Structure 1
Amino acid sequence: MGQFIYNFFFHLVESLLPIAALFSKKLKLFVNGRKGVIERIAGFKRENTAPVAWFHCASLGEFEQARPVLEGFKKRYPQYKVVLTFFSPSGYEVRKDYAEADLITYLPIDTWQNAKRFVDTLEPSVVFFVKYEFWYNFLKRVAQKNIPLFSFSTIFREDQIFFKWYGSFFLRTLHCFDHFFVQNETSVRLLEDAKIYNFSKTGDSRFDRVEEICQQAVDLPIVENFAKGHRVLVVGSSWPQDMEVLYPLINRGDEDLKFIIAPHNLKKEEMEEVEQNAQVPCIRYSLATEENVADKKLLLIDNFGMLSSLYRYGSFAYVGGAFGAGLHNILEAATYGLPIFFGRSAKNTKFQEAVDLVKRQGAFMVKDAGDFLQQFDHFYQNEEKRRQAAEASRAYVEENLGVTDQILDFCEAYIK
């Protein structure tokens, strides 16, 4: 019965999506991007006789977890072609030109017909799903064909349907995998309680990725001149709700404190709002030079792609998103050894790194502007306290490196 309801639901979704796409730009991308996927796969296979490794991610965040493993796989097994699939447009549209994958496409809707056609046409030799992507029909077909199937950077929570009394059908999905590489002890306990024992606790593969980014950080002379001789708070992926927390500190006017702000959205109105509300000398990066930036107090980043290199110039970091859709990447800041602040939200428990860094006192949750000022000043006015928090952040990253090699070493026995 569970399988019937599941398949009926996704057939219904597939039939209704084209109508919904008429009213949503994102859904239009979602629907149009899936047109002709099987034909693309078939054409790819006609041109390539090499074995295929298939990596699947939900979206952009999961891609960052997949990336070190995917690139490590290619280095170990250059004879393989790599196919990368996304569920969401927010992943596919950003990474559709990613050079390390030989084919990038959407994953079709999870009906049995789609799954059978996709898997039978692609004929992968090994399959990797990232974090919490569990599509029953695709996984069932992979398992039926005895293709090695792995899930890495996986995280399970007690509120997931697999572990509810009514979730027996969905629990069957987990039995399709050859092995799980999970992030935390909660995931270990939940799998053991479900009598699933084919797992290893390896952690999050993003640690390897952020460390690689740190090592490859580019010099930014304009930012260096801006920051010279000052302590700097780097604000990454800020939303308007985050800026409301930050304005009182920005406008307090501390002489030796500067701000680098990289908004999540580069919409004209949001950039202008920051400039209007920040009552300090401010300049956009696109207008800055090494000469005119030194006397400014706030550097507003109006481009994408720089954030991971900006943290190197910081003494503190504030990472946005927690007051809204969800906390953005705090590991990029942690890898540079910075005390990290972010909004207090119940959603933060979904981010293992946030939970861990708060416990280790390398990161700190703030509920509002007053709370942020109080907590920030605790470190701003005491360099020894700031240094201890910074060391806690950096140590956390160092202790969790090497996940990629652990995963690939284990999978070696399954790779032909």
Structure 2
Amino acid sequence: MPNLLDAAYLGLLLACSPVLASRSLRRGKYREGWAEKLRGRVPRRLGEAPCLWFHAVSVGEVLLLRPLVADLQRRRPAWEVVISTTTPTGLEVARRTFPDLVTFYAPLDFSWAVRRALDRIRPTVLALVETELWPNLIRAASERGARVAVINGRLSRRSHPRYRRFRALLGPTLRRLDAVAAQSEESAERFRDIGVPADRLTVTGSIKYDGLDGDRQSSRVRSARRSLGLEDVSGPIFVAGSTQEGEELAALEAYQAAREEHPGLRLILVPRHPERGAELAGWLASRGEPVWRRSVDEVPPRTPDPGERPPVLLIDTVGELSSIWGLADVAFVGGSLHPGRGGQNMMEPSAFGASVLFGPHTSNFREAVEGLLDRGAARVVRDAAELASALREELAQPTTARQRGASARGFVLAQRGATERTLALLDGLVGPIGKASRPGTSVSRNASRPASSAA
């Protein structure tokens, strides 16, 4: 089985090599970490304490680990925690969010790479975040005596049929899982349907709710307001976040239409892919909009003079959106106007009590969307015209908008508790050895350089 998978992966890698080469030439960050990815040369662990290896594919999954890791370090300070991720932006955020932990690129699912990585880390528990079902990694971890769990597990309605088609091939992998902690009953049923044994399934809820800030007066939000030059702004703020190509136009047109009635309105635009920053800045300028670009402009924008048009604040950096949502009176969550993208996390602006808008294509967040809409705590906009109309209505009826935001925040607060349930599950997987272990072990690393350079 591993040899067949290796051959399939090699074929896929060769087929994708022109795209990977192009990205490496255009974006230096894609040249990082190939020793880890292809050879499994991750940092070597030296100690004998229980070790939890969390694998989180990208930014969203890395960030949801914040409350879990914080509680884990407080309750089990002797345990070692390492975090791997797949994408350059994910690793950048992991290094910034967990500066005291070892973070690295996960090995690709080649048998030789995952074996070497596991032999170097020697995890007690391998915790895969959401839906990282890599057969060679799971098999090799299980063969080495590690307990393997999926935490915050999610199978969307869209991805479920794809996994079901390969149920016979996935069966041996899924039977090696020691636990699957699903976000919802719906996801648990889908995991059961593709072959996860029922006695290894539990519903913990989503950790994402526990990690949401929600405090508009927090230091992170105040810092964002100060760095964007918004401390003295009294008018409403419209944040369009995690936008994909085409959604920036809808957000800009909505902003321009609403600005006629609300001249103090400000727009903060946060594209899903920050590397589009230069392109978007040029496009905004061509539309007659002054632009302040976060990655380039070091000095916060000054307060506009009376009658002067304020700049669009373009945030083309990684990891700041979760704080910027705390500035929003009205929030549009991107990745949702056009099919095939599945939406982005609307829980972050909801936690801050913003009046939340998103498009109809939100299959990746179905349970959250249903919960918000059932309470009248969010609005669906089906196209650019509806987005413009909804923004104008929210600004014209601020009391109604605030009530909608309060309902959204109440919904988020009611969902919390998954971190506690997940910690109990991990405690059980580590077992009695974890409670007897003492601090003082370590992973070989140099904190001042990327993990890929570790021996």
What is the TM-score with the length of structure 1 in the denominator? 0.84
In 2, distance between residues paired with 1:29 and 1:17? 17
**1:274/1:328 Cα in 2 relative to 1: closer, same or farther (>3 Å)?**
farther
% identical equivalent positions: 19
In 1, distance between residues paired with 2:179 and 2:215? 28
**1:218/1:89 Cα in 2 relative to 1: closer, same or farther (>3 Å)?**
closer
In 2, distance between residues paired with 1:20 and 1:310? 33
Q: How does 1:225-304 map to 2 (within 5 A)?
A: 225-226=232-233, 228=234, 230-239=235-244, 241-252=246-257, 253-255=260-262, 258-264=265-271, 265=274, 267-277=277-287, 286=297, 288=300, 291-292=303-304, 298-303=310-315, 304=317
Matched letter for residue 179 of structure 2: H
In 2, distance between residues paired with 1:101 and 1:11? 35
SS at match of 1:409: helix
In 1, distance between residues paired with 2:239 and 2:203? 33
Deviation, structure 1 residue 313? 3.4
User: Which deviates further from its counterpart, 301-310 or 261-270?
Assistant: 301-310
Aligned equivalent of 2:177: 177
Matched letter for residue 367 of structure 1: R
SS at match of 2:283: helix
User: Which deviates further from its counterpart, 103-112 or 353-362?
Assistant: 353-362
Contact 1:161/1:170 (<8 A) preserved: no
Aligned equivalent of 1:313: 327
**1:371/1:77 Cα in 2 relative to 1: closer, same or farther (>3 Å)?**
same
Contact 1:335/1:393 (<8 A) preserved: yes
Aligned equivalent of 1:337: 353
In 2, distance between residues paired with 1:375 and 1:212? 23
In 1, distance between residues paired with 2:162 and 2:245? 36
SS at match of 2:265: strand
**1:196/1:149 Cα in 2 relative to 1: closer, same or farther (>3 Å)?**
same
Matched letter for residue 207 of structure 1: Y
User: Which deviates further from its counterpart, 51-60 or 304-313?
Assistant: 304-313
**1:299/1:183 Cα in 2 relative to 1: closer, same or farther (>3 Å)?**
farther
Q: How many residues align?
A: 408
Contact 1:233/1:257 (<8 A) preserved: no
User: Which deviates further from its counterpart, 26-35 or 91-100?
Assistant: 26-35
In 2, distance between residues paired with 1:354 and 1:295? 39
In 1, distance between residues paired with 2:282 and 2:360? 26
Contact 2:182/2:204 (<8 A) preserved: yes
In 2, distance between residues paired with 1:299 and 1:239? 21
Structure 2 unaligned regions, length at least 5 = 435-455
Q: How does 1:7-406 map to 2 (within 5 A)?
A: 7-13=6-12, 21-25=20-24, 32-35=32-35, 40-41=41-42, 44-46=44-46, 48-96=47-95, 98-100=97-99, 102-158=101-157, 159-160=159-160, 164=164, 166-193=166-193, 194=195, 195-211=197-213, 215-219=218-222, 220-221=225-226, 222-226=229-233, 228=234, 230-239=235-244, 241-252=246-257, 253-255=260-262, 258-264=265-271, 265=274, 267-277=277-287, 286=297, 288=300, 291-292=303-304, 298-303=310-315, 304=317, 306-323=320-337, 325=341, 327-345=343-361, 348-352=362-366, 353-406=368-421
Q: Which structure carries more relative contact order (alpha carbon 8 Å, separation 6+)? A: 2
Contact 1:283/1:298 (<8 A) preserved: no
Contact 2:247/2:337 (<8 A) preserved: yes
**1:414/1:366 Cα in 2 relative to 1: closer, same or farther (>3 Å)?**
same
**1:311/1:162 Cα in 2 relative to 1: closer, same or farther (>3 Å)?**
closer
In 2, distance between residues paired with 1:299 and 1:357? 32
In 1, distance between residues paired with 2:173 and 2:412? 32
User: Which deviates further from its counterpart, 302-311 or 65-74?
Assistant: 302-311
In 2, distance between residues paired with 1:191 and 1:17? 29
Matched letter for residue 280 of structure 2: E
Structure 1 unaligned regions, length at least 5 = none
Deviation, structure 1 residue 296? 5.7
Contact 1:308/1:332 (<8 A) preserved: yes
Contact 1:239/1:321 (<8 A) preserved: yes
Matched letter for residue 242 of structure 2: S
Deviation, structure 1 residue 360? 3.2
In 2, distance between residues paired with 1:354 and 1:296? 38
What is the TM-score with the length of structure 2 in the denominator? 0.78
Contact 1:225/1:294 (<8 A) preserved: no
**1:212/1:257 Cα in 2 relative to 1: closer, same or farther (>3 Å)?**
closer
In 2, distance between residues paired with 1:18 and 1:180? 34
In 1, distance between residues paired with 2:409 and 2:279? 36
**1:147/1:294 Cα in 2 relative to 1: closer, same or farther (>3 Å)?**
farther
Matched letter for residue 350 of structure 2: A
Deviation, structure 1 residue 33? 1.1
**1:14/1:263 Cα in 2 relative to 1: closer, same or farther (>3 Å)?**
closer
Contact 2:54/2:82 (<8 A) preserved: yes
Matched letter for residue 110 of structure 1: D
Q: Deviations over 1:245-296 (max 9, x none)?
A: 23343333113651231331362341243244366x8766756556547766
**1:119/1:308 Cα in 2 relative to 1: closer, same or farther (>3 Å)?**
closer
In 2, distance between residues paired with 1:365 and 1:177? 38
SS at match of 1:164: helix
Q: Deviations over 1:71-91 (max 9, x none)?
A: 322222222222211122332
